Chains A and B, each alone.
Chain A
Amino acid sequence: KQEVTQIPAALSVPEGENLVLNCSFTDSAIYNLQWFRQDPGKGLTSLLLIQSSQREQTSGRLNASLDKSSGRSTLYIAASQPGDSATYLCVAAGNKLTFGGGTRVLVKP
């Protein structure tokens, strides 16, 4: 059974600092791994999707890496801004989607 863990559960950083969010999964038989952000009480916004054959994906200030052998994915957010404050979820797609518990990020001005 796939288990997805995100550490830390919460993170607070000053504006401008780089963010590093970790996601680990127990079953490496995944099709892809996707990162989302969720704002309080709202739905999920897709940030990056990494196919199982890929090692990383980049979009603007965001970069996500995938290491299937170690069961890890890392989301990097460069030069954080207060608008980056949200909960970030990683989702492993195997036979079904398995969600991590999320990392709640607060970027202080």
Chain B
Amino acid sequence: GAGVSQSPSNKVTEKGKDVELRCDPISGHTALYWYRQSLGQGLEFLIYFQGNSAPDKSGLPSDRFSAERTGGSVSTLTIQRTQQEDSAVYLCASSPRAYEQYFGPGTRLTVT
């Protein structure tokens, strides 16, 4: 079956511009996570959604970052007024149960 998909796969943007990153989770998975991974680094938790519960936004690094999940499915991560330090790979994962996450291929964001 289809896995987690993310778009775009690569995004180059100028400093100060806004970007939107999209995640299509696996159908039926109730939880969705966003992570950020800098080159050669581990995964930094950003936010997660679980069903209709309020999302856990504790990992968002600043108020320039926000995320939505519409209809319990597709999610969009928005970064406003991008900075060079936002350059990273943004990974989305969906989960059918608490301890098993299925990751998408990521979106590589480069802020110039």
Partners in one complex: no
Using a CB–CB cutoff of 8 Å, the interface residues on chain A facing chain B are none
